[in-house]
DNA sequence: CGCATTTGACCCGCGC
DNA sequence: GCGCGGGTCAAATGCG
């Protein structure tokens, strides 16, 4: 714990003002965070390139993301330098320390991973079957159509999630893929609803959730779940996202086979200025444990690690956010962090 | 007309 | 067991 803390501190102290990477100690979790300021014109309607927004092309090797490195770079974004190796997971105390800091600022960012999802399975695949099966049963018992679509006695599992926070006025970021909204729910303790989207491509079960931070309405938290099975319609290469299999990206380099997680399609933001809080999937820990090293992380993430001066912001957001962030950072962990802060 | 969005109902897991 | 909250479904509705 202490060691991790120290390491975290070190990285934080050296990090740049706008970036933050931290990891939690929860098994199978690995958190990274960073905020990226992107050029922005305030237009909510435009198609924004996430990568452009992130300025990843300026910092991340194309091989890492398999992205077209083009267009503008973030005006105010300084990407964190990648650590040479995987750093220990921060202890609650560490995070709490961070959390005590000021609220997220436009230039700050953070990444966190969700918990208990590393071993996620493709639950989605069972759905189509379920729906088909129930289709002919609807007349018999409508209430049954949604009952126990999943295996009995088996804890529901999810695909690894990849969440990032975006400072943007746009809720639904254009990431190059086509999404259909299939639900919206009010978020507890937040005046902003959470929207649920599903990739419209046939056979692609990727989902994403979008919600605004209740603390900072300018921050949009987007959580991707699953892996696209097709190229991005907006990108011939279909590789905005990082594919572990063919791009050696973020996670893929070390986990192509064992880690289903893929860095989600990154939205194209070309005109607005955004800040991203990037969250790695819980599977990252698994990756790290299997030889995954930070050098495999996207440059923008890694730089965060060394130039982390906004950890406080991140932590603060995590503690206060009651939406997806809560999901990303287990409540218990947050409590612990909070307690540590009190001390 | 086809597709996307809205929205209330429902399912499920979890904590008490 | 019950209630709460997250997540999903699907009919209704909207829109190009």
CA distance A320 to A100: 11
- Please tell me which residue lies nearest to nucleotide B3, judged from CA to C1': A180
CA of A310 to C1' of B3 (A): 43
Q: Which nucleotide is the nearest neighbour of A180, by CA and C1'?
A: B4
* Statement: the CB of A50 is under 7 Å from strand B: no
Rounded to an integer, what is the distance from CA A59 to the centroid of its chain?
18
Q: Which nucleotide is the nearest neighbour of A146, by CA and C1'?
A: B11
Query: In the prediction, which pLDDT does A233 show?
Result: 66
Which DSSP state fits A257?
A: T
Q: Which nucleotide is the nearest neighbour of A161, by CA and C1'?
A: C7
How do the pLDDT tens digits run along chain A, 343 residues long? Answer: 433 333 333 333 333 333 333 333 333 333 333 343 333 333 333 334 444 443 333 333 333 333 333 333 333 333 333 333 333 333 333 333 333 333 333 333 444 444 333 333 333 333 333 333 333 333 333 333 333 333 333 445 566 777 778 877 777 777 778 888 999 998 888 888 899 998 888 777 788 888 888 778 888 888 888 877 777 665 544 443 333 333 333 333 333 333 334 444 444 444 444 445 454 433 333 333 333 333 333 333 333 333 333 333 333 444 444 444 444 444 444 444 444 444 4
In DSSP notation, A51-76 reads HHHHTHHHHS-HHHH-----S---SS
- Please tell me which residue lies nearest to nucleotide C5, judged from CA to C1': A188
Query: In the prediction, which pLDDT does A199 show?
Result: 87
* Statement: the CB of A180 is under 7 Å from strand B: yes
Q: Which two tokens stand for residue A246?
A: 């063919």
CA of A42 to C1' of B14 (A): 41
Query: In the prediction, which pLDDT does A181 show?
Result: 92
Among A267, A277, A335, residue whose Cα is nearest residue A67? A267
* Protein-contacted positions of strand B (CB under 7 Å): 3-14
CA of A112 to C1' of B11 (A): 28
Q: Which two tokens stand for residue A123?
A: 């639950």
Residues 117-146 of A with CB under 7 A from strand B: 143-144, 146
Q: What are phi and psi of A18, to 5 degrees?
A: -105, 5
Query: In the prediction, which pLDDT does A182 show?
Result: 92
Task: List residues bridging with A212 in a β-sheet.
Answer: A220
Among A182, A183, A163, residue whose Cα is nearest residue A173? A163
Query: In the prediction, which pLDDT does A172 show?
Result: 72
Query: In the prediction, which pLDDT does A176 show?
Result: 79
Q: Which nucleotide is the nearest neighbour of A151, by CA and C1'?
A: B12
Edge-to-edge strand ranges of the sheet holding A207-212: A179-186, A193-199, A207-212, A219-225, A161-167, A276-278
Task: List residues bridging with A209 in a β-sheet.
Answer: A196, A223
């Amino acid at each position: 714990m202490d060691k991790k803390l120290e390491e975290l501190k070190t990285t934080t102290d050296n990090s740049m003002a706008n970036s933050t990477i931290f990891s939690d100690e929860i098994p199978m979790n690995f958190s990274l965070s960073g905020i990226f300021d992107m050029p922005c014109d305030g237009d909510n309607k435009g198609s924004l390139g996430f990568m452009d927004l992130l300025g990843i092309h300026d910092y991340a090797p194309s091989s890492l993301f398999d992205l077209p490195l083009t267009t503008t770079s973030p005006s105010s974004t300084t990407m964190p330098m990648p650590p040479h190796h995987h750093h220990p997971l921060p202890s609650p105390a560490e995070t709490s320390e961070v959390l005590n800091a000021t609220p997220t600022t436009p230039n700050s960012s953070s990444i966190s991973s969700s918990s208990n999802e590393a071993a996620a399975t493709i639950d989605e695949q069972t759905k189509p079957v379920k729906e088909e099966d129930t289709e002919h049963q609807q007349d018999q018992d409508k209430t049954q159509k949604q009952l126990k679509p999943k295996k009995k006695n088996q804890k529901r599992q999810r695909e690894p999630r990849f969440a990032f926070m975006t400072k943007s006025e746009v809720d639904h970021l254009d990431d190059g893929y086509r999404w259909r909204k299939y639900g919206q729910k009010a978020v507890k303790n937040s005046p902003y609803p959470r929207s649920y989207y599903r990739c419209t491509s046939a056979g692609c079960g990727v989902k994403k959730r979008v919600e605004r931070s209740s603390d900072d309405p300018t921050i949009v938290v987007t959580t991707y779940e699953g892996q696209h099975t097709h190229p991005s319609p907006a990108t011939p290469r279909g590789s905005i996202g990082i594919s572990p299999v063919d791009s050696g990206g973020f996670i893929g380099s070390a986990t192509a086979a064992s880690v289903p997680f893929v860095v989600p399609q990154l939205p194209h933001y070309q005109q607005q200025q955004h800040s991203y809080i990037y969250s790695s999937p819980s599977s990252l820990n698994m990756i790290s444990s299997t030889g995954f090293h930070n050098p495999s992380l996207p440059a923008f993430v890694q730089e965060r690690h060394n130039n982390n001066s906004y950890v406080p912001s991140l932590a603060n957001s995590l503690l206060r956010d009651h939406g997806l962030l809560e999901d990303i950072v287990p409540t218990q962990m947050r409590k612990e962090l909070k307690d540590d802060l009190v001390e």
